[in-house]
Structure 1
Amino acid sequence: MLADIRSRLGGVAGINFGIGGPIAHRIDHLLSGARAGIAIKFSGENLRTLRDLAEEAQTRIAGIPGVTDVAVESQSEVPELGVHLDRERLARNGVSFAEAGLTLRAALYGAPVSRVYEGRNAYDLVLRVQEVAPDSIAMLERLPLRTDTGALAPLSAVATVTRESGPNIISRDQVQRKIFVTCNPAGRDVASVLADIRDAIDPLLEGKVGYAVHYGGQFESAAAASRRLLASGLLILLVIFGLLCMTFRNARDATFVMASLPLALIGGVAAVFLSGGVLSIASIIGFISVFGVAARNGIMLINHIRHLQSEEGVAGFEEAVWRGSVERVVPVLMTALTTGLALVPLVIAHDAPGNEIQSPMAVVIIGGLLSATVLNMVVVPALYLRFGRPVKNNGGAAGTPGETFL
Structure 2
Amino acid sequence: MKTVNGIVDLQLEPQIPIEQIQIKFNRPAASRYGLTVGKLSEIIETALNGRVVSQVLDKQQTFDLAVWLKPDARQNLDTIRNLLVDTPNGQKIPLAQVATIENGTGPNTINRENVSRLIVVSANANGRDLRSIVNEIRDKVNQQVHPPSGYYIQYAGQFEAEERATQNILISSLIAFVAITVIMYLSVKSIPSTAMIMINLPLALVGGVFSVALTGGVISIASLVGFITLFGVATRNGLLLVDNYNTKFAEEMPLKEVLIKGSMERLNAILMTAFTSALGLAPLVVESGPGKEILQPLSIVVLGGLFTSTALTLMVLPALYAKFGKFLLPKRTTSVVEDGKVPKAVFE
TM-score using structure 1 length? 0.67
Residue 378 of structure 1: SS of its match in structure 2?
helix
Contact kept, 8 Å, 1:264 with 1:369, in 2: the verdict is yes
2: CA distance, partners of 1:105 / 1:241:
65
Contact kept, 8 Å, 1:89 with 1:157, in 2: the verdict is yes
User: In the superposition, relative to structure 1, how do residues 74 and 361 fare at CA in structure 2: closer, same or farther (>3 Å)?
Assistant: same
Counterpart position of 1:191? 131
Matched residues, number: 332
Residue 273 of structure 2: SS of its match in structure 1?
helix
2: CA distance, partners of 1:87 / 1:124:
34
Counterpart position of 1:53? none
Of residues 246, 249, 256, the one that matches 1:318 is: 256
2: CA distance, partners of 1:333 / 1:146:
87
Cα deviation, residue 330, structure 1:
2.8
Q: CA RMSD in A?
A: 4.0
2: CA distance, partners of 1:81 / 1:318:
93
State the one-letter code of the partner of 2:320. Answer: L
Counterpart position of 2:158? 218
Contact kept, 8 Å, 2:10 with 2:123, in 1: the verdict is yes
1: CA distance, partners of 2:300 / 2:158:
23
2: CA distance, partners of 1:229 / 1:242:
20
Counterpart position of 1:335? 273
Cα deviation, residue 331, structure 1:
2.6
Contact kept, 8 Å, 2:85 with 2:95, in 1: the verdict is no
TM-score using structure 2 length? 0.77
Residue 72 of structure 2: SS of its match in structure 1?
coil
Cα deviation, residue 287, structure 1:
1.2
Give the gaps of 5 or more residues in structure 1.
1-60, 395-401
Identity of aligned residues (%): 35
Residue 153 of structure 2: SS of its match in structure 1?
strand
Q: Is 1:227 paired with 2:164? A: no
State the one-letter code of the partner of 1:235. Answer: I
2: CA distance, partners of 1:87 / 1:289:
63
Cα deviation, residue 255, structure 1:
1.8
State the one-letter code of the partner of 1:314. Answer: M
1: CA distance, partners of 2:101 / 2:176:
70
**Per-residue Cα deviation, 1:238-280 (whole angstroms, up to 9, x for no partner):** 3333333333332222222222211111001111112222212
Which residues of 2 match residues 40-189 of structure 1 at below 5 A? 61-83=1-23, 108=48, 115-125=55-65, 132=72, 134-137=74-77, 143=82, 145=84, 161-189=101-129
Residue 214 of structure 1: SS of its match in structure 2?
coil
Which residues of 2 match residues 252-263 of structure 1 at below 5 A? 252-263=192-203
Stretch moving more, 213-222 or 268-277: 213-222
**Per-residue Cα deviation, 1:14-58 (whole angstroms, up to 9, x for no partner):** xxxxxxxxxxxxxxxxxxxxxxxxxxxxxxxxxxxxxxxxxxxxx
Cα deviation, residue 90, structure 1:
9.7
Q: Is 1:265 paired with 2:205? A: yes
1: CA distance, partners of 2:215 / 2:235:
25
User: In the superposition, relative to structure 1, how do residues 334 and 209 fare at CA in structure 2: closer, same or farther (>3 Å)?
Assistant: same
Cα deviation, residue 135, structure 1:
4.7
Counterpart position of 1:360? 297
User: In the superposition, relative to structure 1, how do residues 250 and 131 fare at CA in structure 2: closer, same or farther (>3 Å)?
Assistant: closer
Stretch moving more, 366-375 or 291-300: 291-300
Counterpart position of 2:284? 346
State the one-letter code of the partner of 2:305. Answer: G
Cα deviation, residue 223, structure 1:
2.7
